[in-house]
Structure 1
Amino acid sequence: MKIPPLQQEFVLHFGEMGSRWGINRTVGQIYALLFLSADALNADQITEALGISRSNASMGLKELQAWRLVRLKHVPGDRKDHFTTPDDLWEIVRILIEERKKREIDPTLTKLRALEMQGPAGDDYSEARISELREMIEMMTGFYEDMARLETEKLVRLMTYGSRIAGLIDKVGGVFPSKNR
């Protein structure tokens, strides 16, 4: 299976970016290949297209399935498992944000809450900073949860309003909660 030049460039870029996003190069390339593929691909096709080992392809597919970014698709008349990505770009973005929140934000929030529960440690400044950080993360996750509940159409509309909303907040005299130090 030969990858056309446009796809090849995209796949290579995703591989390079993978390490910056916290995944390895091969996983990024597998995802990019599946993302651009009109048809679901099996592990042998992925292995051939990317020039990687079968075990590397299998491990990458398992990681992408754990992230819910690829889906198993059965092809009539073929006993092999085939894989594809969701068609809806907004669904992909929502999955990525949700999974990153689950893996990165939630454990940090849990730790901050646990530190606060330990009670006074005699370090007022550190305690205040931990509390301030927890409050900010809770506010951000609350905003995320509000946005996650919106239908895609409404979310897109909201995003297109962007700076106009900020201007409206300024006009109405909106004040964001903050703590002065």
Structure 2
Amino acid sequence: MPDALKNDDELSNVLCPHDGTLWMYFTSRPRQEKKLYQALLSQAIPCYLPQVKKTTEYAHRVYSRMVPMFSGYVFASTCPQGFDIVKLNSSLLKVHFLSEAAAAELLHDLKTVRKYEILAKEHKVAVYPPMTPGTAIQVTKGYFKGEYAVVQKMINHETVSIYLSSLQMTLSVELPVDFVERNCQIVNARSRKNKNRS
């Protein structure tokens, strides 16, 4: 059996309802997702840490590594008395218990995520946070790298139209979505004013 299918079969036995427990999610301390995942596994708790391959280039060399698909999140099927929290404390930030309906919805979503994870082994798959009109962002690649901007609209899943906020006049630019990232800094009032006029 091909490795990808074998791994999928193994996770199919994990991504399912488990008697006496509900699916929920754990938030980890920064960059502690894998440690938290291993701590849950060591307690024989059904858990899932979706991962994707990240490729970076440094000094003309290309490096690849597996990173969490959703930073800070590990998913598990357990109950309030189903784990030893002391063994999780070094990597755990918070446990999020869900209702039965929400747990069922989460499990459904995780099965979809798993399909993307398998797809990512053969194709490039990226996960980006939603960017609605008015979202403050910073351009991280290309000619406008370092500029602060505001999302005007999403063109499609791969392109975003933005307002650049550092120019004397408002400029609307279309960029690949992976050229920008959310920015918590407040953009200047002039940019917001121009956005509201559109």
Give the TM-score band, short-chain normalised: under 0.3
Q: Which protein, 1 or 2, shows the higher relative CO under an 8 Å CA cutoff with sep ≥ 6?
A: 2
Structure in which a larger fraction of residues adopt strand: 2
Q: TM-score, normalised by structure 1?
A: 0.27
Q: TM-score, normalised by structure 2?
A: 0.25
Larger-gyration structure (1/2): 1
